[in-house]
Structure 1
Amino acid sequence: MTSEKSNVRVTVSENGPYMVTGDIPLAKQTITTSAEGGSEAWQEGSAVAHRETYALCRCGASRTKPFCDGSHLKIGFVGTETASRDTYLDQAKLLDGPILQLTDAESLCAFGRFCDPNGNVWSQVSQTDDRAVRTMFIRQVNECPSGRLVAWDKASGKPVEHALPVSIGLIEDPEQQCSGPLWLRGGIPVVAADGFEYEVRNRVTLCRCGESKNKPFCDGTHAAIKFSDS
């Protein structure tokens, strides 16, 4: 899926914030859980007011989160991008099932945990000839914010992806008592500090705690350090 406006993009600045252009909507996206604590659904919060072009903190130290206040300069933030520049499919492993397949690029995991309930998606893929399991599998895979997981229709060879609005979510994870990454939805281009254009994808998560080892993408470190957007 591609972005709706040609000027929509997020540009990583060298050791600085994410520069967002194209008047991209911004809102909190909270992970809601079942009684057992498993990730179940997304709850969208109120829209966050912003300008047509705005800067989002990626060092984790801004006092005006989610926006940058220049703290990256004060703390000497080093935001060197270390993520692979290979395509998603070149990074992913393939799991085969009777009706659907699953691709998994583990390095992109943002620890949303939607993959875990109901026996987990890795076990479900082999049972996708069961309609109930197939429906559950597609839902859980598509709730994965980072796009680590993608379901594929074997007959057509096409991904089974839910359409998402061009928008940025500020992930909150009450179950883990932390704030999560920036969730880029709907095919927003991401441009590296050196001008490299990462593969455009329907779902991407960018680090905003400053501690990911897979910058600019999230690697789940926010949960370990209990990063807070407050």
Structure 2
Amino acid sequence: MQIVEDGPYRVRGALPLHTQEIVRNEEGRSWSYRQGRAYPVKDGTMLCRCGHSRKKPFCDGSHKTAGVDLAETASFEPMLQEAEEIDGPRYSLTDNERYCAFARFCDNGQRIWNEVRIEGEEHARLAIYMAHQCPAGRLLVWDRSTGNPVEEPLTASLSLIQDPGAGVSGPLVLRGGVRVQSASGESYEVRNRQALCRCGASSNKPFCDGSHASTKFRDGLE
């Protein structure tokens, strides 16, 4: 994925693109995803980054007149450099809140920051599950006995998040180690899960910071 200076995202390669709806459980908390409509993508496809295109998810040039500041402000440093670490009996959790995409999977049970601290397989499984559902990859669970992250291999894909629980549309989620290249030519850290801003309001561009929730961003794709 390539960032066009003051413009859209340019897809490199032919990655599958779908809408993905956040599904809530009986407690009303974010729990899983439901895959929706597929969109045609080829190498060079331009995806809206400013939030104002009338042809979402594709760019229609609206960024030129929308008055949205699309300058990149995110750090190129590894996410772990600024992450908080929480140790539990078997696993540790690292969390870089700057990358929160407000998907709220982390709020299940006693919340991930507490679940990782509690003894027992059930709590460990829930903490790992919540981390894997986080679209931004801000949360990583680590096996303390090996020092390795508890991660699952993901197929490279693009998802347009829909969040009916909050009544908004969310970020563009990249899974499976998709590289994000800055308009400067430098690459951001390659990660298993990343969430890119689609509303144009993030203060951590190109990454999502949850601003779509406060701005009530709707893409009309549901």
For Structure 1 versus Structure 2, the TM-score category normalised by the shorter chain is: over 0.9
* Unaligned runs of at least 5 residues, structure 1: 1-9
Task: Give the corresponding residue for 1:101.
Answer: 92
1:135 to 119, 122, 125: 125
Whole-angstrom CA distance in 2 between matches of 1:175 and 1:52: 33
Counterpart amino acid of residue 195 in structure 2: T
Q: For residue 110 of structure 1, report the CA deviation from its aligned partner.
A: 0.2
Task: Give the corresponding residue for 1:225.
Answer: 215
* Unaligned runs of at least 5 residues, structure 2: none
Q: Does 1:198 align with 2:188?
A: yes
TM-score (norm 2): 0.96
Task: Give the corresponding residue for 1:72.
Answer: 63
Q: Does 1:36 align with 2:27?
A: yes
Task: Give the corresponding residue for 2:114.
Answer: 123
Whole-angstrom CA distance in 1 between matches of 2:17 and 2:82: 29
Whole-angstrom CA distance in 1 between matches of 2:83 and 2:89: 19
Asked if the contact 1:16/1:77 (under 8 Å) is kept, the reply is: no
Range 169-178 or range 154-163, more displaced:
154-163
Asked if the contact 2:11/2:42 (under 8 Å) is kept, the reply is: no
Aligned residue for 2:127, secondary structure, equals helix
Counterpart amino acid of residue 112 in structure 1: A
How well do the aligned residues superpose, as a CA RMSD in angstroms? 1.0
Q: How does 1:164-183 map to 2 (within 5 A)?
A: 164-183=154-173
Q: For residue 85 of structure 1, report the CA deviation from its aligned partner.
A: 1.8
Aligned residue for 1:118, secondary structure, equals coil
Task: Give the corresponding residue for 1:7.
Answer: none
Q: For residue 225 of structure 1, report the CA deviation from its aligned partner.
A: 1.1
Counterpart amino acid of residue 37 in structure 1: G
Counterpart amino acid of residue 155 in structure 2: P
Q: Percent identical across equivalent pairs? A: 48
Whole-angstrom CA distance in 1 between matches of 2:57 and 2:102: 20
